[in-house]
């Protein structure tokens, strides 16, 4: 980067917050899975919306592309440069203030760089729940969560990140600030512009702040680890449990025996919760207001009513036990770190068919290949991971098999992680041509110079 540009950036944000040396920028230019890396001109670390606005405006005048970055925990290569043109990484991590808590309106106004776990804590201090929850919550940031429309483990009850938002503040690609920080539950004044930035993966603008919805805080939680014969029984039991427990089911996660074994091998301190092996498991979380004993009794009765489907079950009787059960689920990603990964969704009723058909097609093409199927079965979202590192060169072939079945079942090739760099090519085959045309038209209208996170999504 030339000295003129470096001092122009430094004048806007302070010299200390213009990172140029490889040791300073390394953590920002490689993605979490260490599959994507490219150099940037520099990493910029503004502290306020006004600084973001000034930096983005300068980039627009200089024709420099911008890669917005939150916690850099994204799983599709969206948060790092592509190296195809001059780019800067714009880290939002210093915009980390909680701007306002309005308990009576059940809202929290936060800046984009707030870490998700800190937002959950701020909501708890106000006696409320912020419902977004995912494995990376200790390091991902709300700006990244909203830009990927993150899912996680509470979607079944509370919806995706998109559904937790009432208002946004966004720096547009020319540097202007759109103040859409409204805290309204009703506002029918034309197009709902905020929705365009949610899930846009930084391709339309930089989210700098958001008004988030809060929920009543449950006073009772029950965690259950339930053995199932197959995914069809898991889907059927979800329907039966919902009929009995309604919205008290906040998470319903599928775990295959293969995933559990990978976890037990990777983390020997973790124990199999049941005394004998089963093919499939569900990790379910139930939450309610009222006493823990009342909820536990309701859950036990509901599980007893479904005993034809549940082969065995253990209920956590303490927070520590609950955390141990969740630890199994949270360790799955790192227990099978390098393989061919998929984040797909189909209608919940079609999940068993998806798992069966993809399994058969893979077995026929790659006999004996290990498959790790797990995820948010209550949302029809399965992480269908295949093989090990040696299979990575055959990724395209595996993708075609998995995505072919997903498409035949009316599903999506990206349920919650986004397209980023990793699925940018494939989406052309699996998304309707008219939808892609409309998306390109929106992109041109917001970002005519194509400076916002180029090489991602479209």
Ligand X SMILES: Cc1cc2nc3c(=O)[nH]c(=O)nc-3n(C[C@H](O)[C@H](O)[C@H](O)COP(=O)(O)OP(=O)(O)OC[C@H]3O[C@@H](n4cnc5c(N)ncnc54)[C@H](O)[C@@H]3O)c2cc1C
- Burial of 383 (C-beta count, 10 Å sphere; 0-12/13-18/19+): buried
215-234 core/surface letters (b: 16 or more CB in 10 A; e: else): eeebebbbbbbbbbeebbbb
CA–CA dist 200, 211 (Å, integer) = 18
Whose Cβ is closer to ligand X: residue 136's or residue 254's? Answer: 136
**Closest CB 140 distance from ligand X, rounded Å:** 4
**Contact string (CB under 6 A) for ligand X, positions 241-280, x = contact:** ----------------------------------------
Task: Determine, following the binding rule CB under 6 A, whether residue 79 of this chain makes contact with ligand X.
Answer: yes
**Contact string (CB under 6 A) for ligand X, positions 82-101, x = contact:** ----------x---------
Whose Cβ is closer to ligand X: residue 72's or residue 322's? Answer: 72
Whose Cβ is closer to ligand X: residue 179's or residue 397's? Answer: 179
Task: Determine, following the binding rule CB under 6 A, whether residue 42 of this chain makes contact with ligand X.
Answer: no
Whose Cβ is closer to ligand X: residue 45's or residue 233's? Answer: 45
Task: Determine, following the binding rule CB under 6 A, whether residue 180 of this chain makes contact with ligand X.
Answer: no
Task: Determine, following the binding rule CB under 6 A, whether residue 75 of this chain makes contact with ligand X.
Answer: yes
Whose Cβ is closer to ligand X: residue 142's or residue 309's? Answer: 142
Per-residue tokens: 401: 């098999």
Contact assessment for residue 372 and residue 334, using Cβ atoms and an 8 Å cutoff? no
CA–CA dist 362, 142 (Å, integer) = 37
Whose Cβ is closer to ligand X: residue 30's or residue 220's? Answer: 30
List the interface residues with ligand X, window 99-158 (CB under 6 A).
Answer: 112, 134-136, 140-141, 143-145, 147-148, 150-152
| Residue ranges of E strands in 37-86 | 42-44, 65-69
CA–CA dist 309, 68 (Å, integer) = 46
Whose Cβ is closer to ligand X: residue 79's or residue 237's? Answer: 79
Contact assessment for residue 334 and residue 266, using Cβ atoms and an 8 Å cutoff? yes
Task: Determine, following the binding rule CB under 6 A, whether residue 455 of this chain makes contact with ligand X.
Answer: no
Query: Residue 244 contacts by C-beta under 8 Å, 6 or more apart in sequence?
Result: 298, 301, 302, 305
CA–CA dist 397, 175 (Å, integer) = 42
Whose Cβ is closer to ligand X: residue 207's or residue 298's? Answer: 207
Pick the binder of ligand X from 87, 111, 253, 416 (CB under 6 A): 416
Number of H helices, E strands in the chain: 15, 18
Task: Determine, following the binding rule CB under 6 A, whether residue 69 of this chain makes contact with ligand X.
Answer: yes
Q: Which residue is nearest to ligand X (CB)?
A: 144
Pick the binder of ligand X from 70, 199, 378, 455 (CB under 6 A): 70
Pick the binder of ligand X from 46, 68, 273, 380 (CB under 6 A): 68
Whose Cβ is closer to ligand X: residue 135's or residue 159's? Answer: 135
Task: Determine, following the binding rule CB under 6 A, whether residue 285 of this chain makes contact with ligand X.
Answer: no
What spatial distance separates the first Cα and last Cα of the chain, rounded to whole Å?
A: 27
**Closest CB 165 distance from ligand X, rounded Å:** 13
Separation of CA 367 from chain center: 32
- Burial of 78 (C-beta count, 10 Å sphere; 0-12/13-18/19+): buried
Pick the binder of ligand X from 25, 30, 49, 73 (CB under 6 A): 73
**Closest CB 300 distance from ligand X, rounded Å:** 28
List the interface residues with ligand X, window 10-39 (CB under 6 A).
Answer: 32
Q: Classify residue 149 as left (phi > 0), alpha (psi -120 to 50) or beta.
A: left
Contact assessment for residue 171 and residue 205, using Cβ atoms and an 8 Å cutoff? yes
User: Using CB under 6 A as the criterion, which residues of the chain lie in contact with ligand X when the complex forms?
Assistant: 32, 67-75, 78-79, 92, 112, 134-136, 140-141, 143-145, 147-148, 150-152, 201-202, 206-207, 333, 416-417, 420, 453, 456
């Amino acid at each position: 980067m030339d000295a003129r540009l470096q001092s122009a950036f430094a004048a806007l944000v302070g010299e200390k917050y213009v990172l140029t040396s490889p040791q300073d920028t390394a953590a920002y230019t490689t993605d979490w899975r260490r599959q994507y890396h490219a150099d940037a001109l520099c990493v910029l670390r503004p502290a306020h919306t006004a600084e973001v606005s000034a930096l983005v405006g300068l980039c627009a005048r200089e024709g420099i592309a911008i890669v917005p970055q939150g916690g850099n925990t994204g799983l599709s290569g969206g948060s790092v440069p592509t190296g195809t043109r001059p780019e800067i990484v714009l880290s939002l991590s210093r915009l980390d203030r909680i701007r306002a808590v309005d308990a009576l309106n059940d809202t929290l106004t936060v800046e984009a760089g707030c870490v998700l776990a800190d937002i959950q804590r701020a909501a708890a201090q106000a006696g409320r729940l912020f419902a977004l929850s995912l494995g990376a919550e200790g390091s991902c940031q709300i700006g990244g969560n909203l830009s990927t429309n993150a899912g996680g483990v509470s979607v079944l009850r509370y919806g995706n990140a998109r559904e937790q938002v009432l208002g946004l503040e966004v720096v547009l690609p020319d540097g202007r600030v759109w103040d859409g920080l409204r805290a309204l539950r009703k506002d029918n004044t034309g197009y709902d512009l905020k929705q365009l930035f949610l899930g846009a993966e930084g391709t339309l603008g930089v989210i700098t702040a958001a008004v988030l919805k809060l929920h009543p805080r449950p006073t009772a939680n029950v965690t259950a680890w339930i053995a199932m014969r197959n995914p069809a029984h898991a889907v059927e039991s979800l329907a039966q449990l919902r009929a009995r427990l309604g919205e008290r089911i906040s998470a319903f996660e599928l775990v295959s025996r293969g995933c559990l074994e990978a976890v037990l091998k990777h983390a020997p301190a973790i124990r199999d919760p049941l005394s004998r092996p089963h093919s499939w498991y569900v990790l379910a979380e139930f939450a309610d207001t009222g006493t823990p004993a009342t909820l536990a009794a309701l859950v036990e009765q509901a599980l007893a009513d479904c005993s034809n489907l549940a082969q065995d079950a253990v209920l956590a009787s303490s927070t520590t036990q609950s955390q141990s059960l969740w630890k199994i689920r949270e360790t799955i990603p790192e227990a099978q770190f390098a393989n061919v990964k998929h984040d797909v969704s189909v209608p919940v009723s079609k999940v068993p068919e998806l798992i069966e058909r993809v399994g058969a097609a893979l077995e026929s093409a790659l006999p004996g290949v290990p498959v790790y199927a797990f995820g948010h079965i209550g949302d029809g979202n399965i992480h269908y991971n295949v093989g090990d590192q040696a299979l990575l060169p055959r990724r395209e072939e595996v993708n075609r098999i998995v995505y072919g079945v997903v498409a035949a079942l009316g599903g999506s090739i990206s349920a919650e992680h986004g397209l980023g760099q990793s699925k940018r090519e494939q989406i052309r085959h699996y998304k309707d041509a008219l939808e892609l045309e409309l998306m390109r038209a929106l992109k041109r209208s917001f970002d005519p110079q194509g400076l916002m996170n180029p090489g991602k999504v479209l």
